[in-house]
Homo-oligomer: A and B are copies of this chain.
Amino acid sequence: MVSCGAFRSFLFEYDTPRIVLIRSRKVGLINRGVQLAILAYVIGWVFLWEKGYQETDSVVSSVTTKVKGVTLTNTSTLGPRIWDVADYVIPPQEENSVFVMTNVILTLNQRQDRCPEVGSALILPYDQTECNVKNNCVPGYVSTHSNGIQTGECIPYNNSIKTCEVFAWCPVEDDYHIPKPAFLQEAENFTILVKNNIWYPKFNFSKRNILPTINSTYLKNCIYDSQTDPFCPIFRLGKIVEAAGQNFQEMAVEGGVMALQINWDCNLDRAASHCVPKYSFRRLDNKDSAHTVSPGYNFRFAKYYKDTNGTESRTLVKAYGIRFDIIVFGKAGKFDVIPTMINIGSGLALFGVATVLCDVVVLYCMKKRYYYREKKYKYVEDYELGVNETYGTDS
């Protein structure tokens, strides 16, 4: 039980450590020097560099893209053919990503039927598909790399070899030879418009990458260039790849994945107009000499048709191309009283460290250390150690 008087006496108490204030050129300079270093760290690093006086927030973003461009190809099987955005962007929309087909292996008029499997050379070392006699083929056999289910027959694949017959989408795809240069090599000149809205929830600050200063006319003619048009949101595919230090025509053959990074670091203590996007580009599937296994990016899809008697046929497309992942990141900061207080607080606490460091120097390293120890410490011997005595240097 605490009496009222005790509480009053507690209330009016102020306990503050007793200090030895040593007046010494050497020791004083060390002390002030360390304190200055700490002050410089707190002000310079914590406040100016890391902006410790700011509350920060992470970006919330939405991205839409639109690709533009047409190109003409002319081959013996297809004849002259125009490719536009509906032909080469697959799927037509994704959340933060867009795929542009740059190379293609088409297998036309596939039907559910029986036909020879591709030769072993093409899918080796997976499977032995070549055969001489019927016995080489196992009815019902199927492996991961098969195009279909073996029927057990052995039939001619071409003039020189025979392969096991399969029930499959026939004729089966032969993707041994990748077109080189890339089929849609002119994709280099296609453009991609990236529309990006960002939002900093804590500050309820939103902006989009089509800046208020950009008008319709500019937007319809500009192409992003880090020097001349750093805020144009329209990118030429070739330039993106080049800015990442890659060769577009090489990349177009086997495909790949590119990152289009948008950085929205903003200091909201300054005017909103200073908060602008910074674009940068990277190749994500690093293609170097050490990474020759399974390079590039491709996938298969099909377009399905039905003829008059209801039989389904399809065109199998093995699409090689470049996927552009739009990666939005950034941090906004704005003055706020709480982080300021916290950082000042921990800055003050660091001054205690100055004293600890100096004590080490003064009490252990300096010639006059015994003199300083005498001033700083008051030795109190406890009874139990057998010596009932108190040495106090200042008593």
Contacts and interface: CB of A to CB of B under 8 A. Distances in A.
B68 A302 contact: no
A327 interface: yes
Contacts of A359: 16
A106 to B, nearest CB: 11
A316 B316 CA distance: 20
A290 B37 CA distance: 49
A349 B23 CA distance: 26
A227 interface: no
A92 to B, nearest CB: 4
A380 B394 CA distance: 11
A158 interface: no
Contacts of A97: 95
A363 to B, nearest CB: 9
Contacts of A79: 112
Nearest to A25: B12
A340 interface: no
B82 A167 contact: yes
Interface stretch (A130-138, A177-185, A210-218, A238-246): A210-218
A317 B312 CA distance: 15
Contact of A19 (B17, B93, B199, B210): B17
Q: Which label, helix, strand, loop or mixed, suits the secondary structure of the A interface?
A: mixed
B62 A23 contact: no
A23 B142 contact: no
Contacts of A18: 17-20, 375-378
A22 B292 CA distance: 71
A348 interface: yes
A217 to B, nearest CB: 6
A389 B95 CA distance: 79
A369 interface: no
Most buried by B among A15, A16, A25, A382: A16
Contact of A306 (B142, B259, B302, B305): B305
Interface of A: 9-32, 60, 62, 64, 66, 68-72, 79-82, 84-87, 89-97, 99, 109, 112, 125-126, 142, 144-149, 167-169, 189-191, 193, 195, 197, 199, 206, 208, 210, 212, 214-217, 219-221, 257, 259, 282, 284-286, 290-291, 293-294, 297-308, 310, 313-314, 316-317, 319, 323, 325, 327, 345, 348-350, 352-353, 355-356, 358-359, 362, 368, 372, 375-385, 390, 392, 394-395
